[in-house]
Amino acid sequence: MRTLFLSLLLCPLATLAQAPVIEISGANFRPLPIAVPLPQALNDGARSVAPEFDDAFFFDCSAAGIFQVLDRKSYLADSREGFSASTITFSRWADVGAEALVKVQLSVDGRDLRGEMRLFTVSSGKEELRLVHVVPLDQPRKLAHFFADALYKQFTREPGPFQSHLAFVRRVGKGKDVYLGDWDGKRATPVAQGNINLLPVVAPQGDAVAFTSYKSGKPALYIQRAGSAAVPLVTSGAMVTGASFSPDGRRIAYSMALGEGAQLFVADSNGGNPQPLTDTPYFINSSPTWSPDGKRLAFVSNRAGTPQLYVLTVANPKDVRRLTFQGNYNQTPDWSPRGDLIAFTARDERNAFDLFTVNVESGKVTRLTQDQGNNQEPSFSPNGRLIVFSSNRTGGNMLWVMTAEGQNQKMLPVEKGDYSTPDWGP
Amino acid sequence: MTAVASAAPVSLLVRRPEGMLLKFLFWSAVVHAALFSVALVYAKLHEEAAIDLDQKPIKATLVRQGTPRDEKLLPRIEQAPPPPVEQKAPEPAPTPAPPKTVAPAPVAAPAPPKTKQAGEKKADARQQLFGAFDKMSKSKPDTTGAANGDPSGDSAVAEGEAYYAQLRAQITRFYDVSDTIPDSERIRLTAQVAVVISPAGQLERARLAKSSGNDLFDSAVMTAVKRAAPFAPPPTHLRDPLSKYGVVLQFRP
């Protein structure tokens, strides 16, 4: 009797046990195919600003690195298709390969521009996100960056980089001017004009831009805070270059020429209380960049013969470690806000300047650009996922953006010119 | 009267006391229900990972010919990135389940794909280039492996295992997951898909047995299974179990 019971009990289990389990891993991670149709303008006022909104929004989505924005020419859906899940023919979007669909409606109300964005999963037809935002009528790009950030956050649960700001240098005549604009270089306003102004950095709070200027003859550091004129930050008799704000914004590091070499200093954010960090009288130490925790600095030094990257501990500047051992001309380091990588420019054996990252812990060097002209001066986005840089691959020096892995390289939509040393700030 | 009374216990027509039968039926029902629920609970608990095959990992590495790059030099990207100056319009992606023709593999013990690894193309080119020389030395053994072999395959130990490895390789080719899933989530994503495969290798049923909790990942693994089908016909001894009980595919990123 007991045996019968047991066999009765085990019979169904025996059949279950016959389905083996196969483990499958090694997914190919690829950008999400997303459809971004033209925004729907609900009235005439909206129709006039829609193109500008669309320019910014479409570029943000394309440059994000996590999306594959599908070509609009391939879209099969009716352009007058509805705005709610029940009125959208999702099969038409699935047919062009879209896995997500984002729709925007714009309307103008007085002096306000009202935008509504909805995000749908194409396979299920589910509405994933609905967002309404109002901006002044003359700032459609601001609305676009707001929506792009929301979209980015929806998928990655990380803050998006599109409402941040970019400082850069543009050659004008014989001089070089510093500008501060949106992250994509648009809506840029001059920070310093006339003479030669270089190496801008945006303060961590986003309220100031420091830069190196030759306006007194020798290079010195200046700072321009929001709504006021540029004032000297560090003007000793010697040549001072390349300010870098600590992540908390309380200190700056810079390089000052002394004798035959140049040494690193750290000072309060107003330039007071300068302390030397390096002491190599016959060698040049320059281009400091802070680690995200503010405890370490990466910099360039030629103490071993060629310019290489080094890392020192700010509290104990004697604690110096060489970081790069490959290549013989490594410069312009920028420490990722995520902490793990430092991006830099290096000259390879073909005498081309290209961008690389080095892992701070392992020292592993990864190449990001290759065979595309000269690529220089990388700067990480505030979330560490994108890198802006200058490249002359199309002729003049233009500003470009790519992912931190070197994928999805795109030129910023700025007018043609000669640009250099971008700095991506908050 | 007495005769009737004495005959009553043996007559089949006489009603027996009903309590006994009801009791029996009741207990029978209780025992059945209990057994059934135990089986159900057990099945639910053990739905995943009934048997882990514990297969040997199939590993293949590309070995570069020629002298290694000088360690003092900066690294180079082996695959040149696509020219980014003008982004080409992305073609409309294929419909979710394009009709695919997978050459059904001959079940009758194919030669193990032993040496078919990297550089098939290279081998082809070389064959064309040096075809003349090859003709002169005809005694060379064929080293391209089985026609249905996987480039990353090793020599399969057992036929059944080889089939599962084949399934895995085929599904992995279509295993595209969205880049938008954050790193923090990627490490703990696991989804199980129960599939039933017909003796001809057709995908009979695919069901999400265990969701990963991430819609994008779930839909990606379902798409991978559907796009990978049809599969090669299973070997004889696996046809029955695969079409009756199927197989559970456990996906991790």
d(CA A188, CA A174): 20
The arithmetic mean of pLDDT across residues A112-138, rounded, is: 94
Residue of B nearest to A395 (CA): B85
Give percent of chain A above pLDDT 70.
96
Counted across chains A and B, CB pairs separated by less than 8 A come out at 194
Judge whether B123 lies within some domain: no
Exposed, middle or buried by CB within 10 Å (0-12, 13-18, 19+), for A283?
Answer: middle
- List Cα–Cα distances, A388 to A336, A376, B31, in angstroms: 12, 9, 72
The beta-carbon neighbor of B252 closest among A17, A25, A366 is A25
Distance from CA of A371 to the nearest CA of B (A): 8
The arithmetic mean of pLDDT across residues A311-334, rounded, is: 94
For residues A232 and A148, state if they share a domain.
no
For residues A144 and A279, state if they share a domain.
no
Judge whether A26 lies within some domain: no
Return contacts of B164-168, CB within 8 angstroms, 24+ apart. B164/A20, B164/A22, B164/B53, B164/B55, B164/B247, B165/B55, B165/B58, B166/B105, B166/B231, B166/B232, B167/A22, B167/B231, B167/B247, B167/B249, B168/A22, B168/A23, B168/A24
Pick the more confident residue, A117 or B91: A117
**Smallest Cα–Cα separation from A160: which of A132, A182, A138?**
A182
B175 contacts on A by Cβ (under 8 Å)? 24, 26-28
In this predicted structure, what is the pLDDT of residue B213?
87
Answer yes or no: do B75 and A366 touch at CB < 8 A.
yes
In this predicted structure, what is the pLDDT of residue A351?
92
Contact criterion met (CB below 8 Å) for B76 and A370: yes
The beta-carbon neighbor of B74 closest among A155, A348, A372 is A348
d(CA B70, CA B67): 9
Which H or E element spans position B204? strand B203-210
**A32-46, A73-87, B29-43, B138-152: least confidently modelled range:** B138-152
Contact criterion met (CB below 8 Å) for A167 and A198: no
The beta-carbon neighbor of A326 closest among B35, B55, B72 is B72
Judge whether A4 lies within some domain: no
What is the tens place of the pLDDT at every residue in A223-245? Answer: 988 778 888 888 776 888 888 99
In this predicted structure, what is the pLDDT of residue A332?
95
**A204-213, A300-309, B172-181: least confidently modelled range:** B172-181
The CATH number linked to A130 is 3.40.50.10070
Greatest distance between any 2 Cα atoms in chain B:
120
For residues A180 and A128, state if they share a domain.
no
Judge whether B230 lies within some domain: yes
Sorted by sequence, the CB contacts under 8 Å of residue A30 that are 6+ apart come out as A68, B176, B177, B178, B179
Contact criterion met (CB below 8 Å) for B156 and B216: no
The CATH number linked to B214 is 3.30.1150
Judge whether B236 lies within some domain: yes
Residue ranges of B 47-86 with Cβ closer than 8 A to chain A: 47-53, 55, 71-77, 80-81, 83-85
Answer yes or no: do A21 and B176 touch at CB < 8 A.
no
Domain encompassing residue B243: 178-251
In this predicted structure, what is the pLDDT of residue B3?
47
For residues A63 and A189, state if they share a domain.
no
d(CA A118, CA A121): 10
CB contact A270 to B (< 8 Å): no
Answer yes or no: do A16 and B46 touch at CB < 8 A.
yes
In this predicted structure, what is the pLDDT of residue B65?
60
In the structure, what pLDDT confidence band is assigned to residue A8 with cuts at 50, 70 and 90? Answer: low
For residues A129 and A233, state if they share a domain.
no
Please, what is the average pLDDT of chain B? 69
In this predicted structure, what is the pLDDT of residue B97?
44
C-alpha gyration radius of chain A: 26
In this predicted structure, what is the pLDDT of residue B39?
93
Answer yes or no: do A22 and B247 touch at CB < 8 A.
yes
Pick the more confident residue, B107 or B68: B68
Residue B2 pLDDT > 70: no
Answer yes or no: do A29 and B241 touch at CB < 8 A.
no
Residue A135 pLDDT > 60: yes
Contact criterion met (CB below 8 Å) for A391 and A368: no
The beta-carbon neighbor of A32 closest among B38, B179, B241 is B179
Residue of A nearest to B189 (CA): A25
B71 contacts on A by Cβ (under 8 Å)? 326
Pick the more confident residue, B112 or A168: A168
In this predicted structure, what is the pLDDT of residue B168?
87
Judge whether B151 lies within some domain: no
Judge whether B223 lies within some domain: yes
Residue B46 pLDDT > 50: yes
CB contact A211 to B (< 8 Å): no
Its pTM stands at 0.73
What is the tens place of the pLDDT at every residue in B3-15? Answer: 444 544 556 666 6
Residue ranges of B 9-38 with Cβ closer than 8 A to chain A: 35, 38
Pick the more confident residue, B127 or B75: B75
In the structure, what pLDDT confidence band is assigned to residue B92 with cuts at 50, 70 and 90? Answer: very low
Task: Count the residues in chain A.
Answer: 426
For residues A173 and A300, state if they share a domain.
yes
Judge whether A14 lies within some domain: no
Phi, psi of B90 (to 5 degrees): -70, 135
What is the tens place of the pLDDT at every residue in A185-224? Answer: 999 999 988 889 999 999 998 889 999 999 888 889 999 8
In this predicted structure, what is the pLDDT of residue A239?
86
CB contact A7 to B (< 8 Å): no
Residue B176 pLDDT > 80: yes
Residue B138 pLDDT > 70: no
Which of A97, A130, A156 is where one domain is finished? A156
In this predicted structure, what is the pLDDT of residue B106?
42
Answer yes or no: do B247 and A410 touch at CB < 8 A.
no
Task: Count the residues in chain B.
Answer: 253
The arithmetic mean of pLDDT across residues A14-39, rounded, is: 81
- What are the start-end ranges of the H helices in chain B? 2-7, 18-45, 120-129, 131-136, 159-173, 183-186, 215-228, 236-244
Residue A116 pLDDT > 80: yes
What is the tens place of the pLDDT at every residue in A360-401? Answer: 999 999 999 999 999 999 999 999 999 999 999 998 899 999
In this predicted structure, what is the pLDDT of residue B129?
53
**Sign of the CA dihedral running B240, B246, B248, B251:** positive
Judge whether B184 lies within some domain: yes
Structural domains counted in chain A: 2
Which tokens hold the place of A52?
């500008």
Answer yes or no: do B39 and A12 touch at CB < 8 A.
yes
Which of A156, A176, A209 is where one domain is finished? A156
In this predicted structure, what is the pLDDT of residue A259?
86
What is the tens place of the pLDDT at every residue in A254-294? Answer: 999 988 899 999 999 888 899 999 999 999 999 999 999 99
The CATH number linked to A192 is 2.120.10.30
In this predicted structure, what is the pLDDT of residue B102?
42
The arithmetic mean of pLDDT across residues B102-127, rounded, is: 45
Judge whether B133 lies within some domain: no
In this predicted structure, what is the pLDDT of residue B12?
65
Judge whether A15 lies within some domain: no
Contact criterion met (CB below 8 Å) for A421 and A375: no
Which of A114, A131, A156 is where one domain is finished? A156
**A48-52, A280-284, A405-409, B155-159: least confidently modelled range:** B155-159
Residue B154 pLDDT > 90: no
In the structure, what pLDDT confidence band is assigned to residue A333 with cuts at 50, 70 and 90? Answer: very high
A90 contacts on B by Cβ (under 8 Å)? none
CB contact A111 to B (< 8 Å): no
Structural domains counted in chain B: 1
Domain encompassing residue A271: 165-425
- List Cα–Cα distances, B18 to A89, A235, B12, in angstroms: 66, 111, 14
Distance from CA of B82 to the nearest CA of A (A): 9
